[in-house]
Amino acid sequence: MERERWKNEKRQVDDASLSGLKGEAGFTYLELVIAMSVLLILLPALFFITRTFMSEIKGLDGKERLVMESMAFSGYIHQELKQGSHFRMDNGSLYFQLPNGDTVCYRHQKRRVIRSVRAQEETAFKGNTILLQDVYYIAFVPDPVGVGMKIGMQNWNASLDWSTYVAGRVRTSDEAE
């Protein structure tokens, strides 16, 4: 008897716990298949959009770095070339003289634009300064009154091509003598 009472109580407990679930309907297989299909369609699209966005951001960042470097270089070189005179080319390097008699050389070497100075009494150039990096092409075009430059820059994510012209200093009649 005790045993029967225990079985009845257990059955009542089981029925009570299952009665709450009997009214509940879970996901059907069709709903699960639809949800998984939507997920499988959206994941590649999400990865593609993310990859495109990241590559665009890297490209813009690379371009911005090149523009900033070119602006700094342009300001520096314009200031120095405006003081210069006697512009000439030798083996792709630009040579010119400053008012104090020093000779300045700009050369392209290992994707860099390097500046060297030879003092008036010296025979060799000293003091290499890297003015610009990531340069794959530079052309100096001197003429009697100034220098034109065409510069191509490229880093891992972007490239920039630009050109400029700088007029040299105007010599007075006292300097010409």
pLDDT tens across the length of the chain (177 residues): 676 766 666 666 555 555 555 555 667 888 889 989 999 999 999 999 999 999 999 989 999 999 999 999 999 999 998 888 888 999 999 999 999 999 999 999 999 999 999 988 888 988 899 999 999 999 999 988 889 999 999 999 899 999 999 887 655 545 544
Specify the length of the chain in residues: 177
Q: Is residue 97 part of a domain?
A: yes
Nearest in space to 148 (alpha carbons), one of 89, 64, 102, 66: 89
In a domain, 145, yes or no: yes
Rounded Cα gap, residues 115 and 72, in angstroms:
14
Output the pTM of the full model. 0.67
String of b and e for 2-30 (b: at least 16 CB within 10 Å)?
eeeeeeeeeeeeeeeeeeeeeeeeeeeee
Number of domains in the chain: 1
Q: What is the pLDDT of residue 43?
A: 92
The confidence score (pLDDT) of residue 177 equals 45
- In our burial notation (b when 16+ CB lie closer than 10 A, e otherwise), range 91-104 reads eeebbbbbeeeebb
SS3 157: coil
Tell me whether residue 65 is in a domain: yes
Residue 163 located in a structural domain: yes
Residue 147 falls inside a structural domain: yes
Identify whether 27 is part of a domain: no
Q: For residue 64, what are the domain limits? A: 52-176
